[in-house]
Amino acid sequence: MEMGSLIKAVQGIKYVMDSTQTRWFIGFGVMLGILRDGEPPKDNDIDVCVYYEDYDFKRIKRAFSRAGYTMSKVVYPNVGDTPLYSHFRHSSYPDMCLFAWYEHKGIRYHTYDYYNEGRERLKRYRDRKSVV
């Protein structure tokens, strides 16, 4: 992925995410490659991370759909739950992977790790947030 196409894609993602009023950040391969090597890695996607408490998947999906993205994959922990991961494609930009994060005892966890950490931790987090 060239830096120019990466910048254009991130600007588009920023526009869409800002329109949904969702806090987000770039993570994983793209961020690591830029920090470690000074250039984006050779992979073909951008990992976008959102905070679980801001995560309105339907609103985000609609906004990316209006921007020309199509969803090619989504992983749900249970039917009707909030997706842990979704993958979007665009004809002019690199693919985008969307991940949600939550915080527990001051540590941020990737919801896709939720299977490794056990469903109970995310359930406790959800229950705690609904009480607060």
pTM here is 0.74
pLDDT score for 10: 87
- pLDDT means per 10 residues in the chain (132 residues)? 80 92 85 76 82 86 94 74 81 87 75 57 60 45
pLDDT number for residue 17: 93
Q: What is the pLDDT of residues 54-68, one digit of tens each?
A: 888 899 999 999 999
Q: Is 59 helix (H, G, I), strand (E, B) or coil?
A: helix
Torsion sign over Cα 18, 126, 48, 37: positive
